[in-house]
Amino acid sequence: MPIKESVVGMQGDYDFTIALFGERLFDNRELTYVFNGKETNEIMRNMNRRMLENWLLSGSYMPLYDDKEPFYYYLARCVSVTLGNDNGIAKTPYTIKFDAYPFKIKIAEENSLKWDDYDITDYYQPHIFSISGSKIMKIMNIGSAGVAPKITLNAPMTIQKNNLVFNLSAGSYTVDDFRFEVGMNTFTVTGNGTIAFEWRKEVI
């Protein structure tokens, strides 16, 4: 949904859908699931509703898996559990609504070599590199959102991307300002050792 604001006396409106870093912004998405219970007794139906409420409404955002999206999960929290009327058909509808992060997240990390992780939309590319001196690197993000990868180094290295410079010691890091934006990402790594990038694709 576009994020827009109108100002009195101005033609048109301001569109804040595109962020300062060039990426389109989305509101959280609403997910609704309906399933039928077989309880004919109203007391049992209400008891089941309370059990669902106590189970689902007590948590915060957590992975939500949908069988229709076998490669991805949602990051969601339950916001309501509603018990409908069976209308005499002995199938009481339960409606469960979730508030979810706008993007679906790939369960497997990018470049997983397991066949069961393969998605026809995947883009395979190296993610572990040997560095000796300075090396220009290119990483493609075919998702719908920029992500901050986990960076693992076995020696101190410097990463330069656009006007940002990151001096990292050996270890594992996730640096919020170092992101793989949607599309091709070009950056330079300087040092001597091995560097690896791990991330999960996010799609609409």
pLDDT digits (tens, 9 = 90+) for 148-201: 999 999 999 999 999 999 999 999 999 999 999 999 999 999 999 999 999 999
State the residue range of the domain holding 123: 115-203
What total of structural domains would you count in the chain?
Answer: 2
Mean pLDDT taken over the chain: 87
**Residues 12 and 102 grouped into a single domain:** yes
3-state secondary structure of 77: strand
Q: Which amino acid is at 70?
A: P
**Residues 121 and 184 grouped into a single domain:** yes
**Residues 127 and 89 grouped into a single domain:** no
C-alpha of 65 from chain center: 12
Q: In which residue ranges of the chain is pLDDT below 50? A: none
Residue with tokens 């050792």: 193
**Residues 92 and 164 grouped into a single domain:** no
**Residues 85 and 156 grouped into a single domain:** no
**Residues 80 and 136 grouped into a single domain:** no
Q: What is the pLDDT of residue 77?
A: 97
Q: What is the pLDDT of residue 111?
A: 81
Query: Count of CB atoms within 10 A of residue 43's CB?
Result: 8
Identify the burial level of 79 via C-beta atoms within 10 angstroms of its C-beta, where 0-12 means exposed, 13-18 middle and 19 or more buried. Answer: middle
Q: What is the pLDDT of residue 138?
A: 96
Q: What is the pLDDT of residue 12?
A: 58
Query: At 196, which CATH number?
Result: 2.60.120
**Residues 88 and 124 grouped into a single domain:** no
Of the CA atoms within 13 Å of residue 86, those in its CB half-sphere come to: 14
pTM of the model: 0.80
